[in-house]
Amino acid sequence: MTQPIIHESLAENNDVVLEKRKNLPEFDRKLLEYEDALALCLNAVQDPVGTEELTLENSLGRVLREDMISQVFVPPESRSMMDGYAVIRDDVKCATDDHPVTLTQIDNVPAGHVSMKRLGPGETIRIMTGAVMPQGANAVIRLECSRCLDGRQVIIMEPVGENPYVLLKGQDLVPGIVTAKSGTLITPAVMGVLASCGVSRVKVSRRPTMAVIATGNELVDPGQIPGAGQIYNINGYSLYGLSMAAGAKPVYGGIVRDKSDDLLHVLCSHMDKDIILLSGGVSVGDYDIVHETLVRAGVEEIFWRVKVKPGKPLFFGRKGKTLIFGLPGNPVSSMVNFYVFVRPVIDKLSGKQTYGLDTSKARIINNRIIQPGRRKFYRGRLSSRNSRLEVEIIPEQRSGVFSPMATANVLIEIPGHIKVLKTGDMVRVHHLDCSR
């Protein structure tokens, strides 16, 4: 998972950004570098969202906001890890198939019960998986390595090996140990750890609230019949799904036509949200009314346009505590912007320890000629071969072709100076599993 460097000076003084742009070609001078844009997005998050208390069973996917400290030993008593016979190790150290050892069974202990008898030399107790080890016993012989003769005499046919099949008291957790830190995402495994300590309620971040709004005269929602020149609204649904998967609480604000007054009304109705996601209308066309409407709404522009491909026309601003993203109308560009800019902001708002998609290094398995200039985020398919991560550049990378997003499992990050990627080159990949 990426832990970005937050450039405090850059966030406080935009003159630094402007100075850096002086050395860029004219057509790129208004484009903000990827790292700078990400830093400005993260620095705009003043504080994480508030907290709430949930029952453990309702906490999956939420973010802890306090350290969880074990108050108990786990397990609370030493327990058998096998069905078999509890023994004293020295009694069976010479047992073999040819020379078995005979012990006397004095009790039978199912899981959930405790034997009141103490094991002595030459004795054994039948025990089930999970049952508390009897007093005096220090190992378990598997049923497969024993034979019961008459209900009391048990033949042991092998000694205790390296694994005595006993889980000792506190071998998993002891009182005072931190079982999960504040900022940890609650996964099924974390739920299990907390349950093992007897935790029934947890303090977590509330889910950041979001409004997802698509703009454009050409859009219709699925279920409607498109008119001449109209297309289905991809962004409204993909961004809604991405927001849900990232742990936010989105509302679908519908489609807003290319009228500034209409968009202004919708914007104002969602200024109580933590984040507003707009898609479409942020470029420089005659009907790109989002930018001017945001100005009318009193939104402070933090930046507009980023040196990435796809997704250059990204807008980011704020009004009060509400953060506003204006994403491109192109669905591929919109999703890429979400992954690399919006997702880290949601993570920081949620109080996570780290922000953004998990990243790793992988080896390219196909060649590609690259047009240098902007930072690229190509769709790719990651696989593992011989314990080595390999990534295929999906052949179709045009931002107007959306369906490869459904088969991609990573974004391949390509620095702006790269002109050719060859088989064997190492690249950074961003894993597209949002449900972490």
Res. 121: pLDDT tops 80 = yes
Confidence band (pLDDT; 50, 70, 90) for 124?
A: very high
Res. 12: pLDDT tops 50 = no
Looking at residue 285, its pLDDT comes to 59
Pairing of strands 275-279, 209-215: parallel
Res. 287: pLDDT tops 60 = no
Confidence band (pLDDT; 50, 70, 90) for 430?
A: very high
Kind plus residue range of the DSSP H or E element containing 148: strand 146-148
Of all residues in the chain, what percent carry a pLDDT higher than 90?
86
Res. 150: pLDDT tops 90 = no
Confidence band (pLDDT; 50, 70, 90) for 378?
A: very high
Res. 20: pLDDT tops 80 = no
Looking at residue 1, its pLDDT comes to 45
Looking at residue 291, its pLDDT comes to 85
pLDDT per residue as tens digits for the range 324-373: 999 999 999 999 999 999 999 999 999 999 999 999 999 999 999 999 99
User: Which tops the pLDDT comparison, 283 or 4?
Assistant: 283
Rounded mean pLDDT of the chain? Answer: 91
φ/ψ (deg, to 5) at 202: -135, 150
Alpha-carbon distance of 88 to 117, in angstroms, equals: 14
Is residue 410 a contact partner of residue 382, using CB atoms and an 8 Å limit? yes
Looking at residue 284, its pLDDT comes to 60
pLDDT per residue as tens digits for the range 169-198: 999 999 999 999 999 999 999 999 999 999
Res. 220: pLDDT tops 80 = yes
Res. 13: pLDDT tops 90 = no
Q: In the 8-state DSSP scheme, what is residue 208?
A: P
Is residue 234 a contact partner of residue 268, using CB atoms and an 8 Å limit? no
Query: Quick one: average pLDDT of 280-287?
Result: 68
Res. 242: pLDDT tops 80 = yes
Q: Out of 2-6, 44-48, 136-140, 151-155, pick the least confident.
A: 2-6
Dihedral sign for Cα 373, 374, 380, 386, please. Answer: positive
Query: Quick one: average pLDDT of 216-226?
Result: 94
Q: What is the pTM of this model?
A: 0.86
Res. 8: pLDDT tops 80 = no
Kind plus residue range of the DSSP H or E element containing 333: helix 331-337
Q: 122 is written with which tokens?
A: 């030459």
What pairs with residue 65 in β-bridges? none
Q: Which domains does the chain have, with CATH numbers?
A: 8-50+207-349 (3.40.980.10), 53-68+178-205 (no CATH), 79-167 (2.170.190.11), 359-431 (2.40.340.10)
Looking at residue 18, its pLDDT comes to 40
**The one-letter amino acid at 282:** V
pLDDT per residue as tens digits for the range 251-283: 999 999 989 999 999 999 999 999 999 999 876
Q: 367 is written with which tokens?
A: 């060649």
Query: Quick one: average pLDDT of 23-51?
Result: 84
Looking at residue 14, its pLDDT comes to 42
Confidence band (pLDDT; 50, 70, 90) for 434?
A: low
